[in-house]
Structure 1
Amino acid sequence: MSATAGHAESNPASRLGFQPGQVVQELGWDEDSDQELRESIEELTGTELADEDYDDVPDAVVLWFREDDGDLTDALVDATSAVDDGAPILLLTPKTGRPGYVEPSDIGEAAATAGLAQTSSFNASKDWSGSRLVTPKAARSGKR
């Protein structure tokens, strides 16, 4: 397959809503993270994924999380503090039957506790499932 416009449409990162020029911060990377998905995000955005030490505000966060990584709510709160209101957080967890699998009910509960709304779930790659989470704009603006 050549790197053509048709290839851009088949890029997994485009299905996830990434856009050229976006800065995407990656949290929770480990050797089991899907390298092909990571490279597709970098290819589409035209920038390398920013690491955990990035000290500016990214346009989106990719959070790799496994059951034994600690407290999911804490990880989501940390990810939320990195982005502006309304920016997406893509939570990637191992699929059912894979080491580190996280129950969907645990994801929903942690997201709600962290003040996030789950807008969609998706098949991110062969071994990873994804949840697109956003901070409801009204929730953090102080308005009631």
Structure 2
Amino acid sequence: MRNTDEGSSVDAAKLGFEPDTVIQELGWDDDVDDALRVAVEDVTGNELVDGDVGLVVDGVILWWRDGDGDLGDALLDALQDLAEGGSIWLLTPKVGRPGYVSGADIGEAAPVAGLSTTTTSAATAEWAATKLSTHKR
């Protein structure tokens, strides 16, 4: 089942995506929101790259559902290609949706990976976005 929700517009800039940045996408599956993916590409001016590219990226989108494994490990993996000062947008199903991930789980996993939660907001009708930032050195 695809969640494209073509009747709604997605404002990727409000989520913090910026022009001329390269965003890596991890955790893609058939349930992701294609409208959000397109909106991110429109704002950044670049196609999303996958984890096999080996580029240094400005940000990472991590689609995550309860049952996908260890969130702390996934966040550490997401840091592999992330430039210093970059952000991870953790996209999780909203409350009441299959695969919902609690804020407490995110709050426990983020510091283990050396990340701080900056904002949490509704990304689409089905997905919430939690923006995580690396600690400045």
Q: CA offset at residue 11 of structure 1? A: 5.0
- How big is the shift at 1:21? 1.3
Deviations 1:48-81 (A, max 9, x none): 1001212110110000000111110000001112
The residue that corresponds to 2:81 in the other structure is: 82
What residue in structure 1 maps to residue 4 of structure 2?
A: none
CA contact (8 A) 2:116 2:134 kept: yes
Please give the per-residue CA displacement for 1:64-119, whole angstroms capped at 9, x wherever unaligned. Answer: 00011111000000111221221010000000111110010000000011110001
The residue aligned with 1:4 is: none
* TM-score, normalised by the number of residues in structure 1: 0.86
Instruction: Spell out the pairing of 1:1-144 with structure 2 (5 A cutoff).
Output: 12-138=11-137
Whose radius of gyration is greater, 1 or 2? 1
List structure 1 runs of 4+ shifted beyond 2 angstroms.
none
Distance 1:114 1:80 in 2: 8
User: Higher relative CO (CA 8 A, sep ≥ 6), structure 1 or 2?
Assistant: 2
Query: Which residue pairs with 2:3 in the alignment?
Result: none
Shift of 1:121: 0.5
Is 2:10–2:123's contact at 8 Å kept on the other side of the alignment?
no
Q: Is contact 2:62-2:90 (8 Å) kept? A: yes
Q: Give the Cα–Cα distance (whole angstroms) in 1 for the partners of residues 58 and 112 of structure 2.
A: 22
Q: In 2, distance between residues paired with 1:80 and 1:134?
A: 10
Would the aligned equivalents of 1:11 and 1:44 in 2 still touch at CA under 8 Å?
no
Give the Cα–Cα distance (whole angstroms) in 2 for the partners of residues 29 and 80 of structure 1: 17
Could you say what the CA RMSD is over the residues aligned between the two structures, in angstroms? 1.1
* In 2, Cα distance between equivalents of 1:38 and 1:124: 11
TM value normalised by structure 2:
0.90
Q: Which has the higher strand share?
A: 2
Structure-2 separation of matches of 1:108 and 1:49: 26
Q: Which runs of 5+ in 1 are unaligned?
A: 1-9, 139-144
| Residue identity matched to 2:112 | T
Q: How many pairs are equivalent?
A: 129
